[in-house]
Copies of this chain bind each other. A is one copy, B any other.
Amino acid sequence: MISFASDYIQGAHPKVLQRLIETNMEQLTGYGSDPYCNSAKEKIRKACNCPDADVYFMVGGTQTNMVVLDSILLPHEGVISPVTGHINGHESGAVESTGHKILQLPAVLGKISAESVEEFVATFYADENYEHMVSPGAVYISHPTEYGTLYTKAELEALRKVCDKYNMKLFMDGARLGYGLAGDNTDVTLETICENCDVFYIGGTKVGALCGEAVVFPKGDMPKHYLTISKRHGALLAKGRLLGIQFDALFTDDLYFEIGKHAMDMVHSMKQVFIDNGYEFFIDSPTNQLFVILDNDVMEKLKEQVIFSFWEKYDANHTVVRFATSWGTTAEEIEKLDEVLKAL
């Protein structure tokens, strides 16, 4: 069986694992105060070209979303999110568990536009009863989105503008950021993100780490007691080294970017394989996920040899399924997929 089920089906990228092995017996201080954490932060600042940024390592995506949002919102504020946003649909109510409402906006392929945010917030403040409602304190976007799509630089700048106008923070969920930065035809770099977001995170779990996400506050305005806020939510790791060492490896010799590039090379090959075999796509995704429309019979047969994810029903006879590549995907696996498809 070969698996394209997701981008978190394997352990750590070998270079990341290697660093964990090399440093394993070193005696280090805890809670993120060790030299590897500091080195990793410095490398991330350089990669972002953002020398004043505050960087903080967390363990997983849902945890990061809830802690960051709880740290930047006032208790009575809510966060605007695409209705399809991960925080809204797939985090078991973690944001609400911290007392904040998610203000849902309709999404197009996972994205929201500055126009729709503007319209929502303008309507909000035009309502004379707005003090009885939940005020929007931040905007949440993911990049890539849950549909593998990407914002353009212009779209981010427009979102920045509306956030400035209404005094809201812009927060980007970068769980798959590595694949987004290497995405097709993107003009969004780490620098673009730093220029436009108040806070974002660089996903590790899905991009080569065993676990870990690096939160970045580009302006250096991380809430003063972020460590305490983080621990209050059970998010502070005693052996902070586990995160620091991994991100230090990911940001050494551009490994993080190479991982993205490799996954994109693989997804391009895979796409060609599907095209060659006559398949059609549900979304023309520019990142490491392919959303393919399968005849239900074909799907069942394919399942016997290949692992992929159910996405949604297309029609009575067809289903949309997702294939993901990652740092661990090999050319051999793509060839194998081709053989399997040809044999169907």
Contacts and interface: CB of A to CB of B under 8 A. Distances in A.
Interface of A: 1-3, 5-6, 8-12, 14, 17, 20-21, 23-31, 59-67, 70, 74-76, 78, 89-94, 96-102, 104, 128-129, 131-135, 205-206, 210-211, 225, 227-229, 231-239, 241-242, 307, 310, 328
Nearest to A88: B101
B8 A17 contact: no
Q: Is the interface of A mostly helix, strand, loop or mixed?
A: loop
12 contacts: A10-B24, A10-B25, A21-B21, A27-B307, A27-B328, A31-B132, A63-B235, A75-B97, A93-B99, A99-B99, A131-B227, A210-B239
Given A60-B236, A92-B76, A235-B63, A10 B26 contact: yes
A228 B100 contact: no
B12 A238 contact: no
Contacts of A93: 76, 78, 99-101, 134, 232
Contacts of A242: 11, 210-211
A205 B239 CA distance: 8
Contact of A92 (B12, B59, B231): B231
Contact of A60 (B24, B91, B234): B234
A9 B6 CA distance: 33
Nearest to A34: B9
A229 B6 CA distance: 23
